[in-house]
Amino acid sequence: MNVLVVGGAGYVGSVVVEELVRARESAIVLDDLSTGHRDAVSPLAYFVRGSIGDEGPLQEAFETKSIDCVIHLAGKSLVAESVAHPERYEEANVAQGRLLLDAMRAHGVTDIVFSSTAAVYDPSAPMPLHESSPLRPENPYGETKLRFERTLAEHAARGEARFVSLRYFNVAGASIDHGEDHREETHLIPLLLDAAREARGPVPVYGDDYPTPDGTAVRDYVHVVDVAEAHRRAARYLADGGESRAFNLGSGRGSSVREVVAAVESVTGRRVPTRRAERRPGDPPALIASSDEARRVLGWKPQFGDLGAIVETAWDWRMRHPEGYRE
């Protein structure tokens, strides 16, 4: 398959490209490097620098090879920024996504795998969350992801597209070559690892009075290599005629902030400084996925079952790339 990976220089996208190349699929990457890194792109992929909002690079990416499937990971994903500037999220996650769909149609490409999120669900729904659980995003980030999922469904209903939306929970960990290097880091595990190696000060623990076993918020951490493999399977599922739908990607296990801190201390052998902070508005007590559907329909077999293994791979990558990717 020739797969166009939009956002393939980002954290998840770089591992998706690695996985495609490993499986001998052909990868073309379109990325504007707004949050990604050129050095994160496998040398075996064809790279086009540019935005989906710009006709020239979009055209070049579609004309490099005859594209069989698009994997769309580009977008904005900082919840706090989405609350402060919802219009930026509307533009990046919905309007620009529509331009990508227009380009697909112009080039006769129907299949698309989209990076969605657990943030589309109603966080007060019973856990674990199933694909049929109620949808009620709590912030503009989740709203714009859900809006684009619905845009995909409208295109599919008109016979213009076939899609898989992958609703990731908390992606974490690293492959041998690719790890997490966000310029503005908000994810717990890389923050804790940096605190462990004294590259940053105490990490805030937002809320310790949640109705959870130790009072801190519980999330479902899923390994980035397992997430990447699900993309390859989703692309293949569409190529084999699978019907358009969403799948959750999670481990099915919840880990509290305190448990993640303990795992980081155990893996690194260092004390991790943290500080108590107020709950953040819209942060639910727990988010846990059921990924039974991805296992059943896509044959997805996550390999990294426990939090310790996830943290180990992230720490290993960080120690080998203390400054992240070279710019």
Ligand X SMILES: NC(=O)c1ccc[n+]([C@@H]2O[C@H](COP(=O)([O-])OP(=O)(O)OC[C@H]3O[C@@H](n4cnc5c(N)ncnc54)[C@H](O)[C@@H]3O)[C@@H](O)[C@H]2O)c1
Q: Which residues bind ligand X (CB under 6 A)?
A: 6-7, 9-13, 30-36, 51-53, 73-75, 77, 92, 96, 115, 117, 168, 170-171, 182
CB of 237 to ligand X, least distance (A): 19
Rg (CA), the chain: 19
User: Which listed residue (11, 89, 121, 141) is catalytic?
Assistant: 141
For the record, the structure tokens of 194 come out as 């940096």
196 in Cβ contact with 272 (< 8 Å)? yes
CB of 286 to ligand X, least distance (A): 16
Burial of 52 (0-12, 13-18, 19+ CB in 10 A): buried
CB of 29 to ligand X, least distance (A): 9
**DSSP result, 269-319:** -S---EEEEPPPTT--SB--B--HHHHHHH-------SHHHHHHHHHHHHH
CB of 9 to ligand X, least distance (A): 4
Could you give the CA distance from residue 26 to residue 67 in angstroms, rounded to a whole number? 9
CB of 8 to ligand X, least distance (A): 7
Entry field: residues in the chain: 327
Closest CB to ligand X among residues 10, 285: 10
Q: With b meaning 16 or more CB within 10 Å and e meaning fewer, what string describes 29-42? A: bbbbbebbbebbbb
CB of 73 to ligand X, least distance (A): 4
Of the candidates 209, 189, 255, the one whose C-alpha atom is nearest the C-alpha of residue 11 is 189
Placement of tokens 């529509």 in the chain: 98
Q: How far is CA 135 from CA 34, 118, 131, 162, 282, in A?
A: 29, 10, 9, 21, 15
Residue 237 annotated as catalytic: no
Closest CB to ligand X among residues 75, 207: 75
Helices marked H in the chain: 11-22, 55-64, 79-84, 86-89, 96-106, 140-157, 188-196, 224-239, 257-268, 292-298, 307-320
Closest CB to ligand X among residues 51, 244: 51
Closest CB to ligand X among residues 34, 66: 34
Closest CB to ligand X among residues 162, 167: 167
Pairing of strands 170-172, 221-223: parallel
Closest CB to ligand X among residues 221, 237: 221
Catalytically active residues, by annotation: 141
